[in-house]
Amino acid sequence: MRVNSHFIARADGTFAGMDFSCRCALGKGGIIGADLKREGDGASPIGIWQTRRLFYRPDRTHPPETRLPKVPLRHDDGWCDAPGDPLYNRPVALPYPASAEKLWRADHVYNLIVELSYNDDPVVPGRGSAIFLHLAREDYKPTEGCVALAEPDLRTVLRFLTPVSHIEIAL
């Protein structure tokens, strides 16, 4: 396997790279230039985003094969989505005094989460938070801005991912 794998999620719902392709779901707001992305717009940001680490639900799944750092989720894990907060677009412990998305969810979509480098260096308040590669719903319902794959497909992709891999969101 190559160390620097690169996958492309396209607006037409295709996801491909490393001689692999599958279906994906993208943001309900479509795809938008990263410079135009705003918190809560539901759009997936166009660009090339490095993979950071894998979060997984240890009560629902075993850690998948990947070279990404693996982080087991806890009941109190969240992700700050309050633009004015100093921890905006960062993991936080819940309850958190500012708005934060719960990562330990009743549905399955966050059983596997790959953190992407969107808006993290530097963080720009209001530019969008919690852009992940995660599990798709059965009907591939659009996301809030993330890229989503069926579980077998995400597990295949994870085998290729390292901390220097990239997920590209493109037209």
Residue range 64-91, pLDDT digits in tens:
999 999 999 999 999 999 999 999 999 9
Report field, pTM of the whole predicted structure over 0.85:
yes
Task: State residue 4's pLDDT score.
Answer: 85
Q: What is the CATH number of the domain that holds 28?
A: 2.40.440.10
Asked, for residue 16, whether it belongs to a domain, the answer is yes
Domain span holding position 119: 6-170
Domain count across the chain? 1
Asked, for residue 1, whether it belongs to a domain, the answer is no
Q: How many CA atoms lie within 13 A of 116 on its CB side?
A: 25
Asked, for residue 137, whether it belongs to a domain, the answer is yes
Asked, for residue 147, whether it belongs to a domain, the answer is yes
